[in-house]
Amino acid sequence: MADTDPALKAELQTLRETVESLREELRALRDSVSDAQGAINLSMRSQTRCPACGCVKLLHAPEVLDRGESNSRNRMSLDKKGVIFTKPVGAFEVYACTNCGLVEWYTEVGGIKPDGKRILLVVGDESKSTGPYR
């Protein structure tokens, strides 16, 4: 490169600095949306922003109600414990975007056991996972 034009050397140096700056910016963005295990988390709950349209006005329902027997209103859940007096297990909460209507559902899955009929455990192929939703 001793014979190259000084303008090309300057342009190359500028491009190197720009690439490094972009790498640092990407690292910072990844850190801001990653959880403790390093997985990228772009959920409404974690980012307080809709991942579909970018809207920051969200509705949060900590309890989702469902009609039960004799028109009583119960919390919607994955399962129930008890026979006469049932208690919801894995009760739902939701976040909804006020702009596009995207809804994210969440539940506590502790204590819920797959029975092979109503509740199934589905295990994906971890070897194919290189990022979110891949």
pLDDT digits (tens, 9 = 90+) for 60-95: 999 888 766 655 677 888 888 888 877 888 889 999
Q: What's residue 76's pLDDT?
A: 86
Q: What's residue 26's pLDDT?
A: 86
CA dist., res. 45 & res. 66, Å (int): 22
Nearest of 101, 103, 83 to residue 92 by alpha carbon:
103
Residue type, 123: V
Among 21-35, 88-102, 119-133, top mean pLDDT goes to: 88-102
Q: Is the pLDDT of residue 1 over 60?
A: no
Query: Among residues of the chain, what percentage have pLDDT more than 90?
Result: 33
CB distance 119 to 78 below 8 Å: yes
Alpha-helical segments (H) within the chain: 6-32, 44-47
> What's the farthest any 2 CA atoms get from each other in the chain?
89
Query: Among residues of the chain, what percentage have pLDDT more than 70?
Result: 84
